[in-house]
Every structure is written in structure tokens, then in C-alpha cells.
């Protein structure tokens, strides 16, 4: 088997021993701190990552929330989590109605293949989330101790 075929199989979701990705639980205690016990609903949030990244040092990410951005009804914050990074809460973005639209385009560091979760808090107090999986061939965020 060639390296490219192997990596394409991982990106396509082949289950290989030792290569299985752990599931991100949106009710994880770290995520629960943001939600403060409120229920999390899947939907409205979209996390876009490449399926395969050669290097985890700078991975493009796009987070969008399908929600109006009016004074009365808007996205208040977006919280980004990576299950295998040393600091799992990668970023917190605070928005308001003057933001125009709820969209974040950035780059993140990832410590290996994993799932990334984005949680959005809306002005009505509800919380919405989405997850995306990525296979990283060369990890970042490694502790060299």
C-alpha cells in the first residue's frame, strides 16, 4: 500500500487499529462550563476544516452560524474546542449585532487527528454546536518535555 492510498483511506473514514478518532462529547465538562448547564442543540453552526492536513501548525478553519444579526436576535459568542490539543479551548470569539454576520475565518494549530467542536451562544440564551473531523499527518502543539 502506498502512503497516499493509506492517507486517503484515513481521510475517507477507514477504521484501522489505533487510528480511530475519539468522539467529542458536546456535553464535555469544558463545553458545559460555557453553556452553564443549558442544553446544546446540533444545528445552525457549521465548522469547515479540510479532511486532511499535511501539517497541524496552520490549518484553515471557517465557522459560520446561520442566524440573523439584529439588535434583538444575534450570536453573542462562538467557542472553539479541540479534543486532543493541550489547551482544549482553542479560541473564544465575542460578537454582537454590529458584526453584520456570524462568520469566523482563521487558522488553528492542531495536535494530531481529531474532532473540532464549535459552540455558539445566541442572544436568546440557546446554545448550538457542530463538529468536524480532520486527519493531521504532522502534529503541532506537542509537549517536548
Determine the Cα angle at 33 with ends 75 and 145, to 5°.
110
Mean pLDDT of the chain: 82
Kindly report the pTM of this predicted structure: 0.76
Q: Which residues of 60-98 are buried (b: 16+ CB within 10 A; e: fewer)?
A: ebebbbebebeeeebbbbbbbbbbbbeebebbebebeee
Q: Is the pLDDT of residue 26 over 60?
A: no
Give the tens place of pLDDT for each residue, 124-133: 999 999 999 9
> Which segment of 15-29, 94-108, 120-134 scores lowest on mean pLDDT?
15-29
Q: Which of 66, 121, 49, 67 is nearest to 92 (CA)?
A: 121
Give the tens place of pLDDT for each residue, 102-132: 999 999 999 999 999 999 999 999 999 999 9
- Residue 33: what pLDDT? 77
17: pLDDT strictly greater than 60: no
pLDDT confidence bin for 142, thresholds 50/70/90: low
Q: What are the pLDDT digits (tens) for 51-85?
A: 999 989 999 999 999 999 999 999 999 999 998 99
**% pLDDT > 70, the chain:** 77
Amino acid at each position: 500500500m502506498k502512503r497516499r492510498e493509506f492517507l486517503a483511506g484515513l481521510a475517507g473514514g477507514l477504521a484501522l487499529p489505533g487510528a480511530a478518532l475519539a468522539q467529542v462529547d458536546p456535553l464535555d465538562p469544558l463545553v458545559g462550563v460555557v453553556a452553564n448547564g443549558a442544553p446544546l442543540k446540533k444545528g445552525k453552526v457549521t465548522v469547515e476544516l479540510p479532511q486532511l492536513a499535511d501539517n497541524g501548525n496552520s490549518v484553515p478553519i471557517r465557522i459560520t452560524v446561520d442566524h440573523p444579526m439584529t439588535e434583538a436576535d444575534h450570536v453573542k459568542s462562538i467557542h472553539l474546542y479541540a479534543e486532543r490539543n493541550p489547551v482544549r479551548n482553542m479560541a473564544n470569539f465575542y460578537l454582537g449585532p454590529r458584526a453584520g454576520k456570524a462568520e469566523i475565518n482563521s487558522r488553528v494549530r492542531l495536535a494530531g487527528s481529531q474532532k473540532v467542536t464549535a459552540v455558539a451562544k445566541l442572544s436568546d440564551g440557546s446554545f448550538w454546536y457542530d463538529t468536524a473531523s480532520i486527519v493531521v499527518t504532522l502534529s503541532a502543539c506537542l509537549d517536548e518535555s
